[in-house]
Amino acid sequence: MTALQAHPGPNGEGSTVGERLAACRAAIAHAARGVGRDPAAITLLAVSKTQPQAAIEEALAHGQRHFGENRVQEAAAKFPALRANYPDLRLHLIGHLQTNKARDAVRLFDVIESLDRPSLAEALAAAMAREERRPDLLVEVNLGDEPQKSGVMREAADDFIAACKARFGAALIGVMGIPPVAADPAPHFAWLAACARRHRLGVISMGMSADFAAAIAAGATEIRLGTAIFGARPAAA
């Protein structure tokens, strides 16, 4: 049982987005204090992919401002209208980004967390120049070197991060990674945190509902939670 499962809010029948969100915040704060960290140093990213706009509006009404989406087209259909009422909303792209969608992503997102290959770096740099807009960027690392997953492989990560720092400067703010499903996440989280420190990057995006406590213990500054906040995804998704 995870810390979130032990808390009645995220999984209770009939609980609302606001109640589940409060439970997630409490669980993150508990995990942070347990390892001597300030909960305020950890950002909760609400993964809103496939969720309806009404659910996102409820989260916004309860103070949530950071949201993660996997697809450019889906995010474009939901978020522009929300910005009028919530100008401090921060939209993160956490899914694989095709190079031909780079310009749309630069227009829409405040943070792109899936920078993982030189061709995408080229496309994003060109899009930023055209749009005169520079979203924050995270390099996605394939922590388990799994061929079916996105992310730069570990052995290439240092050189790629250094190249991206040279190209993007202060726009490159951190790293993101997901450990293999069947593995102990702690060593993978420790490796990613050490990588961020080597490159003096302040944002470490790692940890989800099953492993967020281990991620916080390793130094995560951003935790990604989806169904724990919004409930089960729509059946058609």
Residue ranges per structural domain of the chain: 3-229
Determine contact, residues 221/202, Cβ cutoff 8 Å. Answer: yes
What are the residue ranges in the chain where pLDDT is below 50? 1-3, 5-13, 237
Determine contact, residues 230/55, Cβ cutoff 8 Å. Answer: yes
In the three-class reduction of DSSP (H, G, I as helix; E, B as strand; rest coil), residue 148 is classed as coil
E strands along 13-166, which residues? 43-47, 66-69, 90-93, 111-115, 136-142, 152-153
H-helix or E-strand containing 11?
A: helix 8-11
Q: Encode pLDDT of 114-146 as tens digits.
A: 999 999 999 999 999 999 999 999 999 999 988
Q: Encode pLDDT of 153-186 as tens digits.
A: 999 999 999 999 999 999 999 999 999 988 999 9
Determine contact, residues 84/77, Cβ cutoff 8 Å. Answer: no
Cα gap 75→90, rounded to integer Å: 12
Domain 3-229 has CATH 3.40.50.720: no
Paired tokens of 42: 């950890």
Determine contact, residues 67/113, Cβ cutoff 8 Å. Answer: no
